Amino acid sequence: MRILAVLMLAVLSALVLLTGCAKDPFSTREAEEPIGGKGTYITPVDPLIGLENLRFAMIEQNLGHYRQTYSESLLFTFDFLLVDRPDSISGWDAAEEDRIAGNLLADADSIGLVWELTDGRTDRFDDSTAFLYRTYDIAVVRDSVDTVVTQTYKGEFIIRMERDALDLWSIVGWEDLHLSATQPSWADLKSSYR
Amino acid sequence: MIGISATTTQGANWRSWAEAGFSSSYATRSWFDSTSAQLIGPLGARWQLGQHLDLLRNDLSAGGDVRQRNHRLFVSAKPYPTGSGWTLDIVGTDNAIKETVDRRTLVGKALLGRLLNWRDALSVHLEAGAIASRHTASTAERRDAGFGHRASAEWSTTTQNASDILPEAINASIRNDGDRRDRLRAHDTEWDFGSNWQWERDSLELAWGEQWSSTRFYPNPETFDDVGEQEHRRRNIRFAWHHGTSNNNRSALKSLISPFSWQVEADAGLDRNTYSSVTTDEAVAALPRDTRTTARGYRLQTSRAMGPIAADIQYRYRWVQDRFGEQRRDQTAETGEVEGRLRWQVTSRDSLTVRSIFRVTSYTAPGEENFFDDRDQAERVVEVAWWRKVSPVLTIRPIFSFRGFRQIFISEDRSANNNTDDVYLLAPEFEWQPSRIITVFERVSVRAHYRFFEFDRSDPDGRGTLYRRAESETRLGLRQSARTTWRLRYVYRYEDFGGLFDRDGWVQSVDWDRRSHLMDATLEWRPFGTLLVKPNLGLEFKRAFQHRLDGTEITRIKDEPFKRQYIGMEIRWTMNSGFVLRASLARRVQQFGSSPKDRDDRWNVYFARPIP
């Protein structure tokens, strides 16, 4: 008899039963009646709408909307970081971006973000791909017990958006660039929450 | 991209392999080459020499000024007589960023090693040597030199007469790397264990892996004043049991269960990073935050085939907990998913495929202060595809799919954003080949994407939207002769988009609509067998209208038209000797209304041939 397999299955079944390791895939929790403000999110049927959704998700610190602006195949890359790490990397994927965004949007007390088309660039649109070039300015405010700290992050990004299977536009490539050797960029802001 | 790839075998004593390439996209240009040669000597001694170069250059410029320039160089060589058991690894890396910052890191390493084997079951590799590095920034430089080592052992065995208890295969490996330079040091230990049991209709797999590492590094790459230390810990455990079907069961319970095949898989993991400062306290503020992720999950699947019907159903569970030191944003994600699939071969000409997924993920924060981001995400997918071969020359395939995504924030702070996305798609397609020279393909798809916010779905000023899209794609293939084929394609697309609210049924207020026409033609011409010439011509028009409400009348205002043209040429030459040359040129011109024309030219060349 396959003693070992049966034993392992028994142990696994006991663990599932004892620890409640199961989740109902059909039901969700009840939401409270809203008192908070409405967020801004428009169905991204155009790349520029998708980009605006990203800006509003940052300003409104809405993780759910932020997460819907990029695809599962997102690759975020940067030129360099002002604070180094031993695992020298040049970017991360969507799963890492989820974690970083969760930390960042929950930790900041308010976020300001403005951007404009990068000098010397024009956005490029194809039938299912778009390249968008922006120079941005981010202000992150954090309150502590006796002080309010505002940090600014400036840089440029090149975002590549693609039309997905639902015909909606989402970010698949995001390259962040510094403006100078001392001015922290969006990548530095994100990296501090890794 | 330009690439060269070649392999050759020179008798029994001489093997070589080479590859080189160049690719360019946007402002990034990269070159690479890789070569490997192996010589087998008269007394069985084998020498291997390998080299790999990876050079990347990234010129990013705005307004004519070069803003950044990166290059990366990696060279490795392995010259050693493989038969003797001695090894030599020489590795050099050069990473540089120029213009915006001026940073460069050079690392060189040479390790001499000894490879030992015992009865093909146990192999041990011991290496030791020198390592040196140089970090350079605009105003500072730091050199470190020291020694490094690498030790690894692998053991694998298979049992000919495996019993119920003894596994059929076991493999285990352990590795320890490290180096110690003046102020820098690294240490990494990893072990993995895997085992596999096989019985008549069952298989069992157990695996366990652990890793510990610690690395000292310079957190400030401009001054190299401080030294930080990262400690990393990883653990993975995996269990998998597969049970096949059986027709030989006597008891009632067994006869009920045995026609099914079963799969059970489970895994658990831990990933933890902690950071500390080795030198001054000021460095602590600049160090990354500690992180710890623990995860566990399992999958249960059963499947059964009953004549023309095959069905399977599976349940997946996943639990992931993220902890970020003193961070406020700790989170636990728990997912449950059920997926069912059915395939029914109704007749010899008809088949039906149905697939359905139900998934809920709950995100929960441990602290009250983070409750505002607690949320559930629910996904539902239903796909139905019917395939019918009407005759040997005509096939039809209607597809229906539904995808629903619902996001529910639990707290009153966020619940105003609770929304639902429902997408419906109906897409019949058919392929008709009335003769050997003509192929016709037609696909019509109709899609509706409803998005509404649950707490303002009846509000005419709410944020609900409806996006509708209908598309017709026609493809025609004409085989004029054995050497000439024409391919024509025409796509017509209608889209509209606008607000959506629920007033005893969904009501849409259209904001805009647009119509697109895409046409392209391709000729495939083979003037002689090994040469293919493929010119391509395309045209695209787009007309959009904005909808404005004037009193009670809706007027459509025409937007500026969009036009795009492209022309391209591809040549492919393949010779019997293995020589391949591929080249393509393309020009695309597009224009919005009266704005200036945007022109884009691209070219690619690829060349490959074996080394003689």
What DSSP line would sit under B174-242, residue for residue? EEEEEEEESS-EEEEEEEEEEEEEE-SSEEEEEEEEEEEEEEEE-S-TTT----EEEEEEEEEEEEEEE
Of residues A32, A105, A191, nearest to B410 (C-beta): A32
Stretch 185-224 of chain B: residues touching chain A, C-beta under 8 Å: 186, 197, 199, 202, 204, 206, 215-222
- Quick check: B26 contacting A, CB < 8 Å? yes
Each residue's pLDDT tens digit, A71-101: 999 999 888 888 877 765 678 999 889 888 8
Nearest to B360 among A24, A65, A120 (CB): A24
Given pLDDT bands bounded at 50, 70 and 90, which one contains residue B58? low
Of A4, A21, A40, the CB nearest to B197: A4
Write out chain A residues lying below 8 Å of B411, CB-based: 32, 36
Interface test with A, best of B409, B411, B468, B588 (most A CBs within 10 A): B409
Residue B456 DSSP label: S
Find the CB nearest A103 among B228, B329, B463.
B329
Q: Which residues of B touch A170 (CB under 8 A)?
A: none
Question: Per-residue pLDDT for B53 more than 70?
Answer: no
pLDDT for residue B259? 74
User: Which residue in A has a C-alpha nearest to residue B284's C-alpha?
Assistant: A83
Q: How far is CA B415 from CA A31, B404, B460, in A?
A: 6, 19, 19
Mean pLDDT on A119-130: 80
Between chains, do B220 and A83 touch, taking CB under 8 Å as contact?
yes
Contact between A28 and B406 (Cβ < 8 Å): yes
Which pLDDT belongs to residue B5? 47
Residue A165, CA distances (Å) to A169, B154, B306, B403 in order: 9, 45, 33, 11
The pLDDT, as a whole number, for residue A1 is: 44
CA B496, CA B449: separation in Å to the nearest integer? 11
- Residue B177 near chain A (CB below 8 Å): no
Identify the architecture of domain A41-191 in CATH. Answer: Roll (3.10)
Contacts of A42 in chain B (CB under 8 A): 463, 465
List CB contacts (< 8 A) between B68 and chain A. 79, 177-178
Separation CA A36–CA B86 (nearest Å) = 69
DSSP at B459: -
Question: What confidence tens digit (pLDDT) does each residue in B195-217 have?
Answer: 888 777 788 889 999 999 999 98
Please name the helix (run of DSSP H) or strand (run of DSSP E) that holds residue B255, with its range, or none.
helix B252-257
Contact A59, A113 (CB under 8 A): yes
Among B217, B408, B463, whose Cβ lies nearest the Cβ of A31? B408
- Shortest Cα distance, chain A CAs vs residue B84, angstroms: 35
Name the range with the highest mean pLDDT among B289-298, B316-325, B376-385: B376-385
Which chain B residues in 552-571 lie under 8 Å from chain A, judged by CB atoms?
none
Domain boundaries, given as residue ranges, for chain B: 1-100, 421-612
- Judge whether residue B596 has pLDDT over 90: no
Secondary structure (3-state) at B609: coil
Can you tell me the distance from the alpha carbon of B440 to that of B463, in angstroms, rounded to the nearest whole number? Answer: 43
The full set of domain ranges for chain A reads 41-191
What lies within 8 Å, CB to CB, of A173 at 6+ separation is: A74, A75, A77, A158, A159, A160
Residues 6+ apart with CB under 8 A from B90: B76, B77, B78, B79, B109, B110
Q: What chain A residue is nearest to B273 in terms of C-alpha separation?
A: A194
- pLDDT of A122 > 60? The answer is yes
The lowest-confidence range among A119-123, B123-127, B303-307 is: A119-123
Q: What is the distance in angstroms between the Cα of B184 and the nearest Cα belonging to chain A?
A: 11
Cβ contacts of B218 on chain A, cutoff 8 Å: 84
How far is Cα B570 from Cα B533, in angstroms, rounded to an integer? 6
Distance from CA of A5 to the nearest CA of B (A): 7
Residue A155 and residue B100: Cα distance in Å, rounded? 12
pLDDT band at B612 (very low <50, low <70, confident <90, very high): very low
* Chain A positions in Cβ-Cβ contact with residue B446 (cut-off 8 Å): none
pLDDT, chain B, mean: 83
CA B191, distance to chain mean position in Å, is 27
State mean pLDDT over B325-334.
Answer: 77
The confidence score (pLDDT) of residue B9 equals 46
Answer whether residue B3 shows pLDDT above 50.
no
Going by pLDDT thresholds of 50, 70 and 90, the confidence category of residue B378 is very high
Comparing B137 with A15, the larger pLDDT belongs to B137
- Model confidence at A11, in pLDDT bands (50, 70, 90)? low
Q: How confident is the model at residue A145 (pLDDT cuts 50, 70, 90)?
A: confident
Average pLDDT over every residue of B118-137: 90
**A92: which strand partners?**
A76
Query: CA B450 to CA B457: how far, in whole Å?
Result: 11
Which among A135, A120, A130, A188 has a CA at the least distance from the CA of A159? A130
The residue length of chain B stands at: 612
Of B407, B455, B465, which is closest to A64 when you measure between CB atoms? B407
**From B449, which residue of chain A is nearest by alpha-carbon distance?**
A166
| pLDDT(B8) > 80 | no
**Nearest CA of chain A to the CA of B415: how many Å?**
5
Residues 6+ positions from B440 with CB-CB distance below 8 Å: B431, B432, B433, B434, B474, B475, B476, B477
Residue-wise pLDDT for B144-153, tens only, equals 999 999 999 9
More reliable by pLDDT, A107 or B167: A107
Chain A's closest residue to B239, CA to CA, is A8
CB within 8 A of B54, min separation 6: which ones? Answer: B30, B32, B72, B73, B74
Which one, of B212, B213, B214, B230, lies nearest residue B283 by Cα?
B230
DSSP B521-559: EEEEEEEETTEEEEEEEEEEEEEEEEEEEETTEEEEEEP
Sign of CA dihedral B306, B307, B309, B312: positive
* Phi and psi, residue B40, nearest 5°: -105, 120
B488/B479 Cα distance (integer angstroms): 12
d(CA A185, CA A156): 8
Q: Do A106 and B373 touch (CB under 8 A)?
A: yes
CB nearest A29 (choices: B64, B266, B362): B362
Residues of A in contact with B456 (CB under 8 A): 38
* Cα distance between residue B420 and residue B423, in whole Å: 10
What does the alpha-carbon distance between residue B306 and residue B426 come to, in Å, rounded to a whole number? 29
- Cβ of B376 within 8 Å of Cβ of A124? The answer is no
Is A79's CB within 8 Å of B97's CB? yes
C-alpha angle B280-B282-B284 in degrees, rounded to nearest 5:
90
Give the model's confidence band at A132: pLDDT under 50 very low, under 70 low, under 90 confident, else very high: very high
Topology, domain B421-612: Maltoporin; Chain A (2.40.170)
In terms of pLDDT, which residue wins out, B610 or B74? B74
One-character DSSP codes across B388-428 = EEEETTEEEEEEEEEEEEEEEE-STTTGGG-EEEEEEEEEE
Token duo for residue B569? 């040429």
The stretches of chain A forming alpha helices (DSSP H) are: 3-19, 47-59, 63-67, 94-107, 186-191
